[in-house]
Amino acid sequence: MEPVTIGQNCPCLNNKVGFCHRGVKRDVSDRMKQECWDTCKNTVISWILNLVNNSIKKSVMFMTNASDIRRHMEKSYSITNGANKYSLNKQLYETNE
């Protein structure tokens, strides 16, 4: 059996966002597709970990799927309080001056 490489018969790589929303399911009937899915999943997680700063990375680095990472980051870092958002934007503006 040949090793699966990124881009070679890996249609899931075209749907990277699907890993973050659990839209791409792991095919349990075909070993090649399973290896492809695992490779794509790990690639997406690696991209996420390389894009976030170290404090965020420490809080998500042991999560095993991208959708859990997305949910954690969404819950932890989304701003729903309008006054808090205004305050953060004001502080950001003042640091740029």
Query: Does residue 45 belong to any structural domain of this protein?
Result: yes
- Cα separation of 69 and 75, whole Å? 10
Average of per-residue pLDDT values in the chain: 77
What is this structure's pTM? 0.63
Question: Within a domain: residue 80?
Answer: yes
Question: Is residue 70 included in any domain, yes or no?
Answer: yes
pLDDT value for 16: 67
Q: Determine, yes or no, domain membership for 6.
A: no
Range of the domain at 91: 11-96
The answer to whether residue 35 sits within a structural domain is: yes
DSSP tag of 61: T
Residue 3 resides in a domain: no
Q: 52-57 long-range CB contacts below 8 Å, 24 or more apart?
A: none
Q: Domain for residue 2, yes or no?
A: no
Categorize the per-residue pLDDT at 12 as very low, low, confident or very high, splitting at 50, 70 and 90.
low
Domain tally for the chain?
Answer: 1
Instruction: Please check whether residue 1 lies inside any domain of the structure.
Output: no
d(CA 87, CA 1): 57
